[in-house]
């Protein structure tokens, strides 16, 4: 579920990625994340594993990577990291440190790629647009937003089922 202070995760109108005037302040000060929702680590775990499964081919290692991303994210936020860059660094270094020993090498993306995707999903959840895919950016962003919506719907259905009991 979206945090009270969050904007809904909807795509905004297309912007020119070469025009940085509208985001210069953020580039200098960073993106501060709102307080972490209790479900946020599970949400991030879900969207990362779904992203990897859909982008490549379903593999058991994807859910393990997703769980690890969720755990590292929770550790980072619990330790006081609210700046997205600090969270991204914690995810990148945490994944890199364990990638081989955890058996994640069979995935088609590496630790830094996965950490970057996590940061993009966090920005999308805040209602921000991400610019990493060039010409196909809007198509990729639409797919990423569908993954976010998929989790939100599943979470709502589970919450409603528990409340109905």
Instruction: Write out pLDDT tens, residues 12-55.
Output: 444 454 454 554 445 445 899 999 999 999 999 999 999 999 88
Asked if pLDDT for residue 99 goes beyond 80, the answer is yes
Task: Give the count of beta carbons closer than 10 Å to the beta carbon of residue 63.
Answer: 17
Strand partners, 83: 32
- What's this model's pTM, rounded to 2 decimal places? 0.71
129 touches 60 (CB < 8 A): no
How far is Cα 128 from Cα 89, in angstroms, rounded to an integer? 20
Mean pLDDT of 78-87: 96
How far is Cα 95 from Cα 105, in angstroms, rounded to an integer? 11
Exposed, middle or buried: residue 89 (CB in 10 Å: 0-12, 13-18, 19+)?
middle
Helices (H), 36-110: 40-55, 60-78, 84-98
How far is Cα 67 from Cα 71, in angstroms, rounded to an integer? 6
How far is Cα 47 from Cα 60, in angstroms, rounded to an integer? 15
Give the per-residue pLDDT at 52. 93
Domain positions in the chain are: 36-164
Mean pLDDT of 133-152: 72
Collect all residues with Cβ–Cβ distance below 8 Å to 157 and sequence separation of at least 6: none
Q: What are phi and psi of 6, to 5 degrees?
A: -85, 150
Give the chain's largest Cα–Cα span: 52
């Amino acid at each position: 579920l979206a945090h009270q202070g969050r904007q809904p995760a909807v795509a905004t109108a297309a912007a020119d990625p070469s025009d940085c005037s509208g985001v210069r302040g953020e580039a200098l000060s960073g993106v501060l994340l709102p307080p972490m929702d209790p479900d946020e680590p599970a949400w991030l775990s879900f969207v990362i594993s779904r992203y990897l499964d859909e982008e490549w081919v379903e593999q058991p290692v994807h859910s393990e990577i997703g769980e690890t991303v969720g755990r590292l994210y929770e550790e980072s936020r619990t330790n006081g990291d609210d700046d997205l860059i600090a969270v991204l660094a914690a995810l990148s270094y945490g994944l890199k440190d364990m990638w081989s020993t955890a058996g994640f090498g069979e995935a088609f993306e590496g630790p830094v790629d996965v950490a970057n995707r996590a940061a993009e999903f966090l920005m999308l959840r805040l209602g921000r647009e991400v610019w990493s895919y060039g010409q196909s950016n809007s198509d990729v962003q639409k797919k990423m937003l569908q993954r976010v919506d998929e989790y939100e719907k599943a979470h709502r259905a589970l919450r409603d089922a528990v409340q109905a009991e």
